[in-house]
């Protein structure tokens, strides 16, 4: 099964939950950090990195000697990545989404495939778990293309035998978050019982409901704020599958880089139970369509 740990609001504890679940999972599992803008899972699971590679995306490279300035490429491009000004052909590689349209439509063969570096993919092992992450190049605006490259790598890692996957997703509810959770079997929404946590949980539920996947809620810092998050979950049929109590010692352990499930047997048991509940949410669906 593939579990995506997502949130809406940032800083609610996605990485805390992902790292702890990986630590207690008890079955073959790969932890994948798909928060490629700000990947943090490695800071807690401290993997031994076995390999790394750069990821690239196709962009057009122009040969102006062949260009007849017919403008078919610039008329097609939806992202203002290529333009013809009089008798000058300009490309803006950082705007390109890599659709390949300009290259296929050019009647003169004046455009060919070049590449733009998206970032780096690295992989290895963290204890018994496999580990995979993407790290966006600073200055690169688009995270979904790198996320797709990480998922491609994941397909290779999980192709031999049964292997579960735990995805640490980016915050928010727009395209990067959707990209991270769209191929999962179960979605965990980590929230906190505050007005900000509740508002963003509502957005996350709205964004992810069309994906038709079982969703459960983990309330982190339980005890701060109000009971509104619980009332909302009850009223909208979202199951609260676990609560992590607010405790300054947890915040301090996190600040030292500890995995919460490894700080006491009580927390370990709590995450083991969370893992059981997640598996039972995946009831019925055995294989999976695609990663």
Provide the minimum distance between the beta carbon of 76 and another protein in the complex, in angstroms, as a whole number: 6
Residues found in the chain: 291
150, 32 contact by CB (below 8 A): yes
Q: Which is nearer to another protein, 104 or 280 (CB)?
A: 104
Taking the C-alpha atoms of 29, 35, 37 and 40 in order, what is their torsion angle to the nearest 10 degrees? -60
Provide the minimum distance between the beta carbon of 108 and another protein in the complex, in angstroms, as a whole number: 17
The interface mask with another protein, positions 187-226, x = CB under 8 A, is -------xxx--xx--xx-xxx-xx------------xxx
Which of positions 30-59 make contact with another protein (CB under 8 A)?
A: 37-38, 40, 43-44
Provide the minimum distance between the beta carbon of 141 and another protein in the complex, in angstroms, as a whole number: 4
Residue selected from 64, 231, 252, 269 as contacting another protein according to rule CB under 8 A: 252
| Closest C-alpha to 245, from 269, 265, 270 | 270
**235: its two tokens:** 């009223």
| Closest C-alpha to 121, from 130, 105, 132, 112 | 132
144, 92 contact by CB (below 8 A): no
Residue selected from 182, 264, 276, 280 as contacting another protein according to rule CB under 8 A: 182
3-state secondary structure of 282: coil
Q: Which is nearer to another protein, 127 or 195 (CB)?
A: 195
The DSSP call for residue 4 is: E
**33: its two tokens:** 């950090």
Residue selected from 74, 122, 143, 158 as contacting another protein according to rule CB under 8 A: 143
Whole-angstrom distance, CA of residue 277 vs CA of residue 263: 21
Which of positions 78-97 make contact with another protein (CB under 8 A)?
A: 78-79, 97
Sign of CA dihedral 147, 54, 131, 249: negative
Q: Which is nearer to another protein, 95 or 163 (CB)?
A: 95
Which of positions 122-141 make contact with another protein (CB under 8 A)?
A: 136, 138-141
Provide the minimum distance between the beta carbon of 174 and another protein in the complex, in angstroms, as a whole number: 3
Q: How many residues bind another protein (CB under 8 A)?
A: 60
Whole-angstrom distance, CA of residue 2 vs CA of residue 88: 49
**4: its two tokens:** 């995506």
Q: Does 251 bind another protein (CB under 8 A)?
A: yes
Residues that bind another protein (CB under 8 A): 7-12, 15, 37-38, 40, 43-44, 76, 78-79, 97-101, 104-105, 136, 138-143, 170-176, 178, 182, 194-196, 199-200, 203-204, 206-208, 210-211, 224-226, 248, 251-252, 254-257
């Amino acid at each position: 099964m593939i579990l995506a740990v997502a949130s809406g609001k940032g800083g609610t504890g996605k990485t805390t939950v992902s790292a702890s679940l990986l630590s207690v999972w008890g079955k073959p599992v790969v932890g994948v950090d798909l928060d490629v803008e700000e990947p943090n899972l490695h800071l807690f699971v401290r993997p031994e990195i076995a390999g790394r590679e750069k990821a690239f995306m196709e962009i057009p490279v122009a040969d102006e000697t062949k260009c007849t300035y017919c403008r078919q490429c610039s008329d097609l491009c939806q992202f203002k990545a290529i333009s013809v000004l009089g008798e000058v052909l300009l490309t803006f590689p950082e705007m390109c989404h890599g659709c390949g349209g300009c290259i296929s439509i050019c009647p003169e063969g004046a455009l060919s495939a070049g590449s733009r570096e998206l970032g780096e993919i690295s992989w290895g092992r963290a204890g018994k778990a496999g580990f995979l992450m993407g790290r966006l190049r600073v200055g690169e605006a688009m995270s979904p293309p790198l996320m797709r490259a990480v998922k491609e790598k994941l397909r290779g890692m999980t192709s031999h035998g049964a292997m579960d996957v735990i995805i640490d997703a980016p915050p928010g509810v727009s395209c990067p978050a959707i990209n991270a959770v769209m191929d999962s079997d179960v979605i965990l929404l980590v929230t906190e019982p505050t007005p900000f946590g509740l508002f963003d949980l509502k957005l996350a539920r709205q964004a992810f409901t069309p994906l038709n996947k079982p969703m459960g809620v983990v309330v982190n810092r339980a005890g701060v704020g109000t009971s509104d998050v619980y009332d909302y979950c009850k009223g909208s049929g979202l199951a609260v599958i676990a609560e992590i109590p607010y405790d300054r010692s947890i915040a301090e352990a996190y600040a030292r880089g500890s995995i919460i499930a490894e700080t006491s047997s009580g927390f370990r048991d709590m995450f083991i139970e969370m893992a059981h509940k997640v598996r039972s949410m995946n009831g019925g669906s055995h294989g999976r369509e695609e990663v």
